Structure 1
Amino acid sequence: MVNLVGKKERIIWISLVTVILVIFVLAMVNLEQEKTAWSQEEANLRGQISELTSETESVTESYTRQKSVFPGNNPNIKYGLEQQGFVGSVQDIVNDLIKHPELIPYEGVLGGKMGFYNKDEIYVLTDQWVCAYFNDGHIGGSLLLSYKINNGAIEWKVIDSRLFN
């Protein structure tokens, strides 16, 4: 009888160990499949990141190129200015506006003084209109201005303004 109980006990232990090994092997196979799926997902995400990076660089380059040529890109501006008797360049109009911070209808804050501090943010739109960004180092805004040439001098008029907080 002892011999029969010992055999049953061994069979139970062997069966239990076999079940545990089968579960372990299945878990390892499942883990390997999950690892492969994660690797594929990571590769897909890296590809998407690469595409987005390339697209961002392309848009940034295009914006930079457009921004750098915008103020003088329209030959009609120069022609319109010549018709008014102005012999200078579009850049001369930008330079003149920089000398007129009194056109900005807002006071500076925290001791700042409003002004047109960046030539690249002044856009001569036509032979009559300019859009310009201004700031005091703390807050800023934009102005839409009209201008006329009168005896070689530029006369400015604020059409609209907006302060950004």
Structure 2
Amino acid sequence: MKKHLIIFMVLAVLFAAGCAESSGEETNISSEKSSGVQEVAQEVPASIDVCYWDWQYAMTPSIGQYYIAPAGYNYVIATVYLKNNANVQVSTNPYFWKFTADGLQYDADVSTFSDVINHQNIEVGKGGEIETTIVYLVKGSPVEAEIGYYNYQYPLFERIEHYQVQ
């Protein structure tokens, strides 16, 4: 019995040491500020499961002629950029993307599918790159806001500066 316990402990230590080992490779993202586009350098190891992303938003009282925000509300038009280097797909389905502002979390509005917005549901696989637009009907005019991806399976997300900050 002691022999089995000692073997088990030795294997556990070896396993733990193997898990803690690092490849020594670093993620390197180079930045080009001209035109506000961030470029991902080729030095990023292919084995890194990461989806690079960025987003920006603007507010408007209406989307086309059919969607007019009620009094005290605005439409937020969020533009999301994705460059997926991960093995896990990322969906542009707007109901996986939640907008949070002033302590309130919003689901996508049906106006996302308006002809004015041109949204498409796409599964972005490894090597895929896309920009999509999602609309939210929000209370007031948010000062601070964030957007998050809520799907049952997702890669590691790393925000980059794809859009120029004004």
TM-score (norm 1): 0.29
Relative to total residues, which structure has the larger helix share, 1 or 2? 1
Relative to total residues, which structure has the larger strand share, 1 or 2? 2
TM-score (norm 2): 0.29
- Larger RCO (CA within 8 A; separation ≥ 6): 2
